[in-house]
Amino acid sequence: MAVATALDTGQAQFVFRPETTRLMAKGTWNAFLGIMVVVFIWWFVAEAMMFLRGVPFPTPPETMSAFWQAIMGADVHGESIFAHANASLQRWGQGYLIALVLGLALGLAFGTMPRLHDVGMISVYVFQMIPGLAWIPIAMLIFGLGETATVFIIVMTAIPPLVINTAGGIREVPAVYTRVARMSGKDDSALFMKVLLPAASLSIINGMRIGLANGWRVLIAAEMVVGVALGLGFSIYQSRYSLDFTASFVSIMAICIIGLTIEKLLFVSMENRVRNRLGLDRED
């Protein structure tokens, strides 16, 4: 309508009422379709496995109802789902906090000191290549079985993306930004705080986001070595012995929901704020 009118009347520019509600409805519908695809694949695999192999593969409806019961207080591998989630969140929170402090400090140091970067990045790349499960023997050797070992594994998997993105972000700050600060008579600390840090902020946030996701995903592996029978990862692993696969599917769902919620709530809004500040386009 608006487009046709503009063309017919020969306008160069025009305004029209943005179709916010329609776009939002479309976005919601697309998200719903996306979820449906996941459920469909899951259901198909479940039915196929039950038919071909005769195993009790939990279907989406079974898992949903078990999930609902768990929310209402039913036990999942000996504890309520909230106790499991709480234990996991605490371990992950501790690990991520340590990783955040260490990773940012290392990344900032590597980003500003080229020699340190060239030497230090080798070990970061090596650490990054080690999969989460492979940290288990190392963690056990250093800390034995228990909470500390779990937190250690989370720290080690969350640190590399933090360091790589922080250092990379600072090193990729255009030289002209530094030159402007230098000719304006700024010292090292002003250059760092007022120019390098804001210029690299998007990359740093990206590293924080990947580190967060890494740490959350490695929980399953990390909780194989916890001493106490508590945690979403422990609960998943426990189905090897209990054969209660529905319970482990409930835990998998809880992990996905918590992880996505944290990422969407925390990081998407943070990233959009920074993008806005940098004059870049928003990301949904």
Partner 1 sequence: MLASLRNVSKVFTDPRNGRGLVALNGIDLDVKEGEFLCLIGSSGCGKSTTLNLLAGFESPTRGDVLFKGKKVIGPSPERGVVFQEPSLYPWMSVLQNVMFSVQEKNGRESLAMEYLKMVGLDGFANSRPSDLSGGMKQRVAIARALAMGPDLLLMDEPFGSLDEQTRRKLDNDVLRLWKEGSKTVVFVTHNIDEALMLGTRVVLMSASPGRIEREWVLDADWPRDLSSPSMMSLREEIIGMLQACACANGAAPVQLLTIGD
Query: Is residue 141 a contact residue for partner 1 (CB under 8 A)?
Result: no
Q: Tell me which of 174, 241, 283, 284 binds partner 1, using CB under 8 A.
A: 174
- Helix (H) / strand (E) element for 76: namely strand 75-76
Question: Which of residues 177, 192, 245, 267 is near partner 1 by CB under 8 A?
Answer: 177
* Cβ atoms within 10 Å of 117's Cβ, excluding its own: 20
Tokens in use for 271? 């990233």
Question: Smallest distance, Å, CB 17 to partner 1?
Answer: 23
185 is a site residue for partner 1 (CB under 8 A) = yes
Q: Which residues share a beta bridge with 79?
A: 76
Does the CA dihedral 262-81-157-245 come out positive or negative?
A: negative
- Binding letters toward partner 1, positions 43-82, x by CB under 8 A: ----------------------------------------
Structure tokens at 261: 């919620």
Specify whether the CB–CB gap between 154 and 95 falls below 8 A. Answer: yes
The answer to whether 243 contacts partner 1 (rule: CB under 8 A) is no
The residue (of 157 and 165) whose beta carbon lies closer to partner 1 is 165
Residue with tokens 């063309």: 7
Helices (H), 113-131: 114-129
Q: Is 277 in the site for partner 1 (CB under 8 A)?
A: yes
- For partner 1, which residue of 23, 45, 113, 180 counts as binding (CB under 8 A)? 180
Nearest to 264 by CA among 213, 217, 214: 213
Residue 125: closest CA among 170, 168, 163: 163
Pick from 15, 52, 141, 183 the residue near partner 1 by CB under 8 A.
183
Q: How far is the CB of 178 from partner 1 (least distance, A)?
A: 9
**89, 97, 136, 199: which one binds partner 1 (CB under 8 A):** 199
Binding residues (CB under 8 A) for partner 1: these are 174, 176-177, 179-185, 194-195, 198-199, 201, 277-280
